[in-house]
Amino acid sequence: MLTEEHFDLFRQFRIKAMGDKLREMVDDASFDKFTFEEKMETLLDAESTARRDRKVAKYVKQAGFKTPSACVEDVVYLPDRTINKDRILRYSDCGWVERCEVMVIISKTGCGKSFLCQAFGNAACRKLIPTRYTRLADACDQLNRARAAGDGSYYEKMDAYKTVPLLILDDFMTTPISTQNSVDLFEIMEAREGRCATIIASQLEPNEWYLRIEGELMADSILNRIATGARYIDLEGPNMREYFAKKRGAA
DSSP 74: G
Note the Cα 143 to chain centre separation in Å: 21
pLDDT of residue 251: 64
User: Which strands sit side by side in the sheet containing 166-170, from one edge to the other?
Assistant: 131-135, 166-170, 197-202, 102-107, 231-235
Could you tell me the pLDDT band of residue 195, with boundaries at 50, 70 and 90? very high
Q: What angle is formed at CA 222 by the lines to CA 216 and CA 227, rounded to 5 degrees?
A: 110
pLDDT of residue 214: 79
pLDDT of residue 134: 98
Could you tell me the pLDDT band of residue 12, with boundaries at 50, 70 and 90? confident
Q: Which of residues 12 and 144 earns the better pLDDT score?
A: 144
CB 132 within 8 A of CB 64: yes
Could you tell me the pLDDT band of residue 165, with boundaries at 50, 70 and 90? very high
Beta pairing partners, 134:
169
DSSP SS3 for 175: coil
